[in-house]
Amino acid sequence: MALAYDGAIQQLIDSFARLPGIGPKGAQRIAFYLLGADAQEVQDLADAITTAKAKVRFCEICGNVCETSPCPICEDPRRDRAVICVVEEPKDVMSIERTREYRGLYHVLGGAINPMANIGPSDLRIPNLLKRLKSGEVTEVIMALDPNIEGEATTTYLSRLLGPLEIKLTRLASGLPVGSDLEYADEITLGRALTGRSEV
């Protein structure tokens, strides 16, 4: 009996099923969508994949993904060069940009310290960060790592490392997410919100 689709279809399903967040049923759904879709749309998807892979590199200064290195943010003369926001991944840069609240530069570490996954400080772009800070231009470093165990460990590690440099070290506020319900906040978050309370 035919327990797999004809070669090319099964290969298409398998290729999609390997991507993060797509299961076998989702991959099958996408494959049949593509088989029924406009030929141009399908070609555009294949082209977008090969083009992005060929064009994209990492910025030699901040480590963000970009098509030109240094990236547009590092090159932008309107940005405040005295502040560097340290994040884990390139996608975090975009999250902070979307707030429209930040005008400084970034530094992408490429992850966080995670002994379980065998990621230590030497696997992160920490030397590049130190080099940037030694230029003397930077007056504040904002730690914007994920508020989980790995992010906290990395923030602690970096704050000890950068402590002697006489640069202001700050971190993102912990507290209640806007639009959430106090009732559903976990104890740690609510505790942090209390500790970090501000005057009205």
When asked if residue 199 is in the footprint of a second copy (CB under 8 A), the reply is no
Is 104 in contact with 80 (CB distance < 8 Å)?
yes
Nearer to a second copy, 5 or 157 (CB): 5
Size of interface with a second copy, in residues (CB under 8 A): 58
Task: Out of 65, 119, 165, 185, name the contact with a second copy by CB under 8 A.
Answer: 65
Least Å distance, CB 181 to a second copy, is 22
When asked if residue 137 is in the footprint of a second copy (CB under 8 A), the reply is no
DSSP label of 4: S
> Among candidates 17, 36, 39, which has minimal Cα distance to 26?
17
The Cα–Cα gap between 17 and 9 comes to 12
Nearer to a second copy, 111 or 147 (CB): 111
Neighbour-count burial of 131, counting CB atoms closer than 10 A to its CB (0-12 exposed, 13-18 middle, 19+ buried)? exposed
What the block records as the tokens of 72 is 């547009």
Residues found near a second copy in the complex (CB under 8 A) = 1-3, 5-9, 11-12, 14-16, 18-22, 26, 28-35, 39, 41-53, 55-56, 65-68, 71-73, 89-91, 94, 97-98, 100, 103
